[in-house]
C-alpha cells in the first residue's frame, strides 16, 4: 500500500468483495473448500458462511469481516516462509469431515 490513494476509493472498491473472492487463498491455507464453512462471529454471535464474510484484500494480508457487525473474524498473512492465521474473531468454525 502506497498511502497515496484516497481512503474513500479504497473502501468503495473493497466493499463489494466477499469471502468467495479469496476462495483460492482459503483453500491453500486450510487444505479444502472453505467458502461454505459456517463460523460464528465472536463479537455479535452471527453465524455466517466464510463466503459471506466481507473481504479486505489490500491490507497487509487478507482480512475477513462479519457482514453484520463489520468486526474482524479472520486474518490471513502470508510471508515468504509461513502463513499466519488469526481466527480470534471467530468463536468457532465448523468443518465437515471429508
Give the residues lining the site for Zn ion (CB under 5 A). 41, 43-44, 46, 66, 68-69
Q: Which is nearer to Zn ion, 49 or 68 (CB)?
A: 68
Q: Which of 48, 44, 59, 79 is nearest to 14 (CA)?
A: 59
What is the Cβ-side half-sphere exposure of residue 86, based on CA atoms within 13 angstroms? 13
Please report how close the Cβ of residue 70 comes to Zn ion at its closest, in angstroms: 7
CB atoms within 10 A of CB 4: 5
Q: Which is nearer to Zn ion, 29 or 43 (CB)?
A: 43
Q: Which is nearer to Zn ion, 37 or 41 (CB)?
A: 41
Please report how close the Cβ of residue 77 comes to Zn ion at its closest, in angstroms: 21
Q: CB neighbours of 67 closer than 8 A, spacing ≥ 6?
A: 18, 46, 48, 52, 53, 54
Please report how close the Cβ of residue 64 comes to Zn ion at its closest, in angstroms: 11
Amino acid at each position: 500500500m502506497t498511502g497515496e490513494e484516497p481512503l474513500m476509493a479504497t473502501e468503495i472498491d473493497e466493499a463489494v468483495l466477499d469471502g468467495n473472492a479469496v476462495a483460492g487463498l482459503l483453500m491453500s491455507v486450510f487444505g479444502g473448500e472453505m467458502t461454505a464453512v459456517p463460523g460464528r462471529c465472536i463479537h455479535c454471535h452471527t453465524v455466517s458462511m466464510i463466503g459471506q464474510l466481507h473481504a479486505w484484500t489490500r491490507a497487509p494480508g487478507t482480512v475477513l469481516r462479519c457482514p453484520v457487525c463489520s468486526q474482524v473474524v479472520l486474518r490471513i498473512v502470508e510471508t515468504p516462509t509461513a502463513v499466519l492465521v488469526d481466527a480470534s474473531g471467530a468463536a468457532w468454525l465448523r468443518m465437515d469431515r471429508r
